Amino acid sequence: MSFTAAEQAAMRRALELAVTPGVPTGPNPRVGCVLIDDAGRTVAEGYHRGAGTPHAEADALAHAGESARGTTAVVTLEPCNHTGRTGPCAEALVAAGVRRVVFAQSDPNPVAAGGAETLRAAGVDVESGLLRVESGLLNTVWTFAVEHQRPFVTWKFASTLDGRSAAADGTSRWVSSRASRLDTHRLRALCDVMLVGTNTVAVDDPLLTVRDEHDQPIEHQPLRAVMGERDLDPDRRVFNSDAESVHLRTRDPQTALKELYARDRQHVFLEGGPTLAAAFLRAGLVDEIVVYVAPMLLGAGRSAVADLGITTIADAFRPRVTDITVLDGVDGEEPNVRLTLTPERH
C-alpha cells in the first residue's frame, strides 16, 4: 500500500468530517469524504448526515460537480455497492470520472460490500487501509452490530460504595451526583435505544428521554423500549409523545435484541433494574458496563444486579476496567467516579 502525504492529510480531514456535530445516531455509519486533485488540493468535501440523506461520497460529488473528474476520493469507509434509500456510491464515483479511490475501512455489511471490486472493474485505481484503525474507532458500535447481527449493549448503573443502587425503602434519588446524571445524558445521546424492564416503568415511571444541561430534551431522541410480558398503564410517562416507544413482549434478552435490530437499532443503553441486568449478564449480552460510584454507604437496600448463580469467588464475573474518570462535584456535591468496563469474551 502506498499513500501520498496529501492522501493522508485528506483522510484525517475526512475523519473530522465524519464526526461533524449534530449527526444523529442511527442505522448508518459515520462517513467522511474528501476529493483532491493531482496536486493534493481539496476540490470538495462531504459527510453523511444520517439515514435517508446522501452518503458522504455523493455529498462531496454534489459539491464538486464537473470538477470531480480526475480526482482522488479519500473516504473513511469503502464506498457502498447497493441501492437502498440512496444509490450505490461506487457507481456514482465511476460516473463522475473519479480516477482513484482511497478508503480506510472495508465495509463489513454484506449487503453493501463490494464497492472496491466495482470500482476496480471500471478501471478506477483503488487502495485501502489508510488510517484503518482510526476509522474503525468512528463506528465501533455500528461495526459490532453488523458483524453480530444484534445491537451493542451498554449497561449503566449508579451505585454506592457498598454496591447499593437504592436504599432499603426503595428510594434511589439521588444515588449519583448531578455531574454523573449530566454525563449519563451525554452517553444516552450516543445510543439509539433506551431499554428498561416493565417493573421499572411500573414502579419508577421514568421518562427515559435525553436532556441537555438545562434539562431540555435534545432534538434526536433514542427509542424508548420496555421489555417484559406484564401489561402496563398506558399513561406511564415512557409512552408519552416526547419520543418513540415500544413494548417488547418478551423476557428473553436475545429475542428483545433481535426485535430491536430488526428496527435498525445498533446501540442499546440498558438502564433497567437488577433483574433485567442479571438476565442480560447471564445471557452474555452485555458488551460494555458504565458504573457511577458515589461516596456513600447504605449497608442495606437494592443491589445493582440480581442473583447471577455465582456461589464461589473463583466463578466471579470479572470485567476488565478500561477507563476511570473522576467527575467533579457541582452544587456542593462530592465527586463521583465513573468506571467503564468491558466483559471478557471466552
Active site residues: 57
What strand order describes the sheet that includes 152-160?
A: 245-248, 223-227, 193-197, 267-270, 152-160, 288-294, 336-342, 320-327
- Where are the alpha helices (H) located in the chain, listed in sequence order? 5-18, 56-64, 89-95, 115-121, 132-138, 140-148, 178-188, 198-204, 253-262, 274-282
- Give CA 136 to chain center in angstroms: 13
Give the up-direction half-sphere exposure of residue 180: CA atoms within 13 A in the CB hemisphere. Answer: 25
**Hey, how many other C-beta atoms are within 10 angstroms of the C-beta on 346?**
4
Output the CA–CA distances (angstroms, integers) from residue 127 to 12, 24, 130, in the order listed: 16, 29, 8
